[in-house]
Amino acid sequence: MTDPIAAAEAAIAADRACADPAIWITRLADATIRARAAALAAEGPQGRPLWGVPVAVKDNIDIAGLPTTAACPDFATVAGAHAPAVARLLAAGANIIGKTNLDQFATGLVGVRSPYGVPRNRFDPDRVPGGSSSGSAVAVAAGIVPLALGTDTAGSGRVPAMFGNIVGLKPTVGAIPSLGVVPACRSVDTISIFATHVDLALAAARAIAGPEAADRYSRRPPFDHLRRGGEGLRVAVIYPRPICTGPVAEVYDRVVAGLDDAERIDIAPFLAIARLLYDGPWVAERTAALAGFLDAHPDSILPTTRAILEGGRARGAVEAFDGFHALAEARRLADQLFARCDALLLPTAPGTPSLAELAADPIGPNSWLGSYTNFVNLCDLAGWAVPAGMDGQGLPAGVCLLGPAWSEGRLAGLADRIHRAHAGRIGATDQPLPPAAPPAPLGPDEIALFCIGAHMEGLPLNRAITGRGGRKLRVAATVAEYRLFDLGNRPGLLHAPGQGGAIEGEVWALPAAAIGPVLAEVPPPLGFGTVRLEDGPCLGFLAEPSGLAEAAEITALGGWRALLKRRAG
């Protein structure tokens, strides 16, 4: 457990050692940080999940009593209230260290578009730090804080995570309230989370997620989507070879080689949608958010940022409707993809541009960085950016694991395993990763279901489980008193005391509300009943004896997967 005083002193010392003033726009005084730590220590944990954890907050998110600048000094306004996400952070026991630098108005993926300076890339000071959440990511990468809030509209919570060798969580849009956040594209903005490891990011998400009545884009999850998933997932990967620098492509290929039976897909339709954010009608949404300030203070905005915002004025209604229709088609394709796969694995970014490249061309490298991120929010996806080791140039490379809305917890286990398999340290520090947390145990609102056929992971009906919030707990087997029959495309399990054998399957946790809908899709002679497992009784699939009269018995195989393997030859 965190010692609030020791954690605060470590953050202060690390910030001093880092000596990078461009990380911060408003850094709280050491005395203020220490006073908060002392108060937390005196109070004790009180069940608060982030007790004493030092946190940085991107300076487009309101903290009461501090200016919100969005990296534009003339825009600065002292916030009268905390953004809900900040209020929830504090209620969870966090200790805020300061507000961090960003690409002005969160418009950019490079991290250099700020009058407050450019935070240093911790691996190569001649490279960009990534943006727009540059300061938040660098603060975590440098070991100043283990946790930081950013925002993500087009990749701002993922690209700088790769460049800092840290974890970036891009939540489902609307899962975390966006009230108190200076909007970029309000309809697809989300607060994002940077952390040293997946489990800490999940803990932070649990603390700050949840609907907010006053937030028009807030959404209520259909199930507890932030429980950590356990076992492997069906993963789609890019075909043909990704468009990246050679070193980044090699890292991506190395991660892909560690996956089992990955499906290769062409993501060209999604890459086409990506252009809508910066070369399409959604540019106008950025302009609409800041039109009043743009009109009144054009010279207060950096030239590159102003050019982007001014470009939105030319977007018309016809182009907007064309964009809506194209996006509807992309979302349909995403639905089809995630009906047969649980996750899509992409490079987080295609490479790390140099500061010199940005100076020569302020737009091109920024657009390139969004190749694999710009479509994600538009398509209503959730994702984890995780480190995947160093590339051949000594720079961190990463991958992004994407899934449909509300899949953050389901993807977390695989995201964490990739991180641990390919990256041995936290950020640019020598700190090792802490031990991985186990999958969350069965919750009071969940029911365990023993699956023996096509509902198991990787099989055709598994989406009926995962799409309703199901998560795999473990492989299990019945006691040796069951018979198994082949019904063609599904098995039938029959309780046969005194005979039969042990049948292997999987135990999945489902929200209690999902059990009825799953059962309604199960055709006769199958249904639900109590199945005796080696470690106790469990709800599971059972068959009516009358429906098995003409079915071949396959008990000797020990399970449905063995039959599928034999069929495959």
Give the pLDDT confidence score for residue 314 in this predicted structure.
Answer: 87
| Digit-coded pLDDT (tens) for 63-118 | 999 999 999 999 999 999 999 999 999 999 999 999 999 999 999 999 999 999 99
Give the pLDDT confidence score for residue 275 in this predicted structure.
Answer: 79
- Per-residue HEC secondary structure of 307-327 comes to HHHHHHHHCCHHHHHHHHHHH
DSSP 80: S
Band the pLDDT of 319: cuts 50, 70, 90. Answer: confident
Q: Which residues contact 264 (CB under 8 A, 6 or more apart)?
A: 236, 237, 238, 239
Nearest to 416 by CA among 195, 567, 239, 128: 195
* pLDDT tops 90 at residue 548: yes
Band the pLDDT of 155: cuts 50, 70, 90. Answer: very high
Of 114, 132, 134, 218, which is the active-site residue? 132
Backbone angles phi, psi at 251, to 5 degrees: -65, -45
Report how far residue 100's alpha carbon sits from residue 114's, in angstroms, rounded to the nearest whole number.
Answer: 11
Give the pLDDT confidence score for residue 276 in this predicted structure.
Answer: 80
Q: Quick one: average pLDDT of 536-560?
A: 96
Are 147 and 113 within 8 A, CB to CB?
A: no
Q: How far is CA 360 from CA 114, 245, 354, in A?
A: 17, 19, 10
* pLDDT tops 90 at residue 43: yes
Give the pLDDT confidence score for residue 565 in this predicted structure.
Answer: 93
Q: Quick one: average pLDDT of 406-427?
A: 94
Give the pLDDT confidence score for residue 231 in this predicted structure.
Answer: 65
Are 341 and 234 within 8 A, CB to CB?
A: yes
Q: Is 170 a catalytic residue?
A: no
In the numeric block, which tokens belong to residue 362?
């302020």
Lowest model confidence (mean pLDDT) among 220-229, 485-494, 554-563: 220-229
Of 114, 136, 156, 371, which is the active-site residue? 156
Alpha-carbon radius of gyration of the chain: 25
Q: Which residues contact 61 (CB under 8 A, 6 or more apart)?
A: 68, 83, 85, 86, 99, 149, 151, 180, 181, 182, 191
* pLDDT tops 80 at residue 569: no
Our measurement of the distance from residue 292's CA atom to the centroid of its chain's CA atoms, rounded to an integer in Å, reads 33
Q: Percent of the chain having pLDDT more than 90?
A: 86
Of the two residues 569 and 335, the one the predictor is more confident about is 335
Band the pLDDT of 240: cuts 50, 70, 90. Answer: confident
Report how far residue 318's alpha carbon sits from residue 321's, in angstroms, rounded to the nearest whole number.
Answer: 5
Q: Quick one: average pLDDT of 456-472?
A: 90
* pLDDT tops 70 at residue 193: yes
Report how far residue 105's alpha carbon sits from residue 75's, in angstroms, rounded to the nearest whole number.
Answer: 10
Nearest to 192 by CA among 241, 257, 132: 132
Q: How far is CA 324 from CA 49, 276, 321, 566, in A?
A: 40, 10, 5, 47
Q: Quick one: average pLDDT of 24-39?
A: 98
* pLDDT tops 80 at residue 207: yes
Count of residues making up the chain: 569
Q: Residue 330: left (phi > 0), alpha (psi -120 to 50), or beta?
A: alpha
* pLDDT tops 90 at residue 340: no
Give the pLDDT confidence score for residue 232 in this predicted structure.
Answer: 66
Amino acid letter for position 149: L
Report how far residue 277's alpha carbon sits from residue 52's, in angstroms, rounded to the nearest whole number.
Answer: 38
pTM: 0.93
Give the pLDDT confidence score for residue 242 in this predicted structure.
Answer: 73
Backbone angles phi, psi at 308, to 5 degrees: -65, -45
Q: Is 99 a catalytic residue?
A: no
Q: Quick one: average pLDDT of 299-307?
A: 95
Report how far residue 544's alpha carbon sits from residue 494's, in angstroms, rounded to the nearest whole number.
Answer: 7
* pLDDT tops 80 at residue 154: yes
Q: Is 546 a catalytic residue?
A: no
| Digit-coded pLDDT (tens) for 429-458 | 999 999 988 777 898 999 999 999 999 988
Report how far residue 91's alpha carbon sits from residue 207's, in angstroms, rounded to the nearest whole number.
Answer: 8
Give the pLDDT confidence score for residue 34 in this predicted structure.
Answer: 98
Are 249 and 349 within 8 A, CB to CB?
A: no
Mean pLDDT value across the chain = 95
On the question of a cis peptide bond just before residue 240, with omega within 30 degrees of 0, the verdict is yes
Report how far residue 6's alpha carbon sits from residue 1's, in angstroms, rounded to the nearest whole number.
Answer: 11
| Digit-coded pLDDT (tens) for 374-399 | 999 999 999 999 999 999 999 999 99
Domains along the sequence of the chain with CATH: 4-422 (3.90.1300.10), 446-568 (3.10.490.10)
| Digit-coded pLDDT (tens) for 505-531 | 999 999 999 999 999 999 999 999 999
